């Protein structure tokens, strides 16, 4: 028997790393074991946050650079979506002692907006203090992928979002940022997902079950 306790698990990585695939696999595996779980994503996860997500994506495909959001407007929209997501979905689920699995969270903002777009770190940090309070992931999986594997997966996607269209150099920089964030942190696991196979799926499940059993 596994203990019924709240756990917040996050999957991070660049586009095409397989985090959405592996987070779904983990969700299904936990359900099979009778462990109450919730699968969600960022930006989005709730009706209001998904509306903000659509607004961000729509802006990216706006051909006029003059009419595009400033990088701080863009970041504030992500943070607004996160606030809605945390307050109305993540925290209530954790209070019910569910395992919450989230496809992207705070580290994506740091990797893409702070490291990538040079948004001021303290700007993001101070807003997070207010909207997150003491909320932190219990476990973060950073999926590291080769450029070739990532590119092949992105080409197969029927629908693409804004981050599927960035230059190869941007993804490489973002991946280095995720690995840098994870460095020397016990609750982070950096895993190679270039093959994205059953071995990776089992490895992730074993890490999670060890934590649930504690």
Q: CATH no. for residue 40?
A: 3.40.50.300
Per-residue pLDDT at 63 exceeds 50 = yes
Q: Within a 10 A sphere around the Cβ of 183, how many other Cβ atoms?
A: 8
The per-residue pLDDT of the chain, averaged, comes to 87
Asked if 11 contacts 101 with a C-beta cutoff of 8 angstroms, the reply is yes
Q: Give the model's confidence band at 104: pLDDT under 50 very low, under 70 low, under 90 confident, else very high.
A: very high
Indicate whether 2 belongs to any domain: no
Helix (H, G, I), strand (E, B) or coil at 151: helix
Q: What confidence score (pLDDT) does residue 179 get? A: 95
Where are the alpha helices (H) located in the chain, listed in sequence order?
Answer: 19-32, 47-60, 71-85, 91-95, 106-108, 121-132, 147-156, 168-182, 198-213
Gap between the Cα atoms of 86 and 43, Å rounded: 11
Domain hosting 202: range is 7-213
High-pLDDT (> 70) share of the chain, %: 83
- Most confident residue range from 10-19, 67-76, 98-107, 138-147: 98-107
Q: Give the model's confidence band at 68: pLDDT under 50 very low, under 70 low, under 90 confident, else very high.
A: confident
Indicate whether 178 belongs to any domain: yes
Indicate whether 140 belongs to any domain: yes
Indicate whether 38 belongs to any domain: yes
Number of folded domains in the chain?
1
Helix (H, G, I), strand (E, B) or coil at 111: helix
Gap between the Cα atoms of 19 and 209, Å rounded: 18
Indicate whether 138 belongs to any domain: yes
Indicate whether 42 belongs to any domain: yes
CA nearest to 191, candidates 141, 137, 139, 150: 141
Asked if 43 contacts 81 with a C-beta cutoff of 8 angstroms, the reply is yes
The mean per-residue pLDDT over the stretch 56-70 comes to: 71
Indicate whether 123 belongs to any domain: yes
Q: Give the model's confidence band at 60: pLDDT under 50 very low, under 70 low, under 90 confident, else very high.
A: low
Indicate whether 1 belongs to any domain: no
Q: Give the model's confidence band at 164: pLDDT under 50 very low, under 70 low, under 90 confident, else very high.
A: very low
Strand partners, 103: 11, 41
High-pLDDT (> 90) share of the chain, %: 68
Q: What confidence score (pLDDT) does residue 156 get? A: 57
Q: What confidence score (pLDDT) does residue 174 get? A: 85
């Amino acid at each position: 028997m596994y203990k019924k306790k709240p756990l917040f698990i996050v999957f991070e990585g660049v586009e095409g790393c397989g985090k959405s695939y592996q987070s779904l696999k983990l969700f299904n595996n936990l359900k099979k074991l009778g462990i109450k779980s919730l699968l969600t994503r960022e930006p989005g996860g709730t009706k209001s946050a998904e509306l903000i997500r659509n607004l961000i994506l729509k802006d990216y495909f706006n051909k006029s650079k003059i009419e595009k959001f400033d990088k701080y407007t863009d970041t504030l929209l992500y943070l607004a979506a996160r606030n809605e997501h945390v307050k109305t979905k993540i925290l209530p689920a954790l209070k019910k002692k569910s395992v919450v699995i989230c496809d992207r969270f705070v580290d994506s903002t740091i990797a893409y907006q702070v490291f990538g777009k040079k948004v001021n770190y303290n700007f993001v940090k101070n807003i997070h203090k207010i909207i997150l309070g003491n909320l932190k992931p219990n476990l973060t999986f950073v999926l590291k992928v080769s450029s070739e594997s990532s590119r092949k997966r992105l080409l197969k996607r029927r629908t693409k979002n804004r981050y599927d269209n960035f230059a190869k150099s941007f993804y490489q920089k973002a991946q280095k940022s995720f690995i840098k964030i994870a460095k020397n942190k016990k609750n982070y696991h950096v895993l190679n997902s270039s093959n994205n196979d059953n071995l990776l799926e089992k490895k992730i499940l074993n890490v999670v079950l060890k934590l649930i059993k504690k």
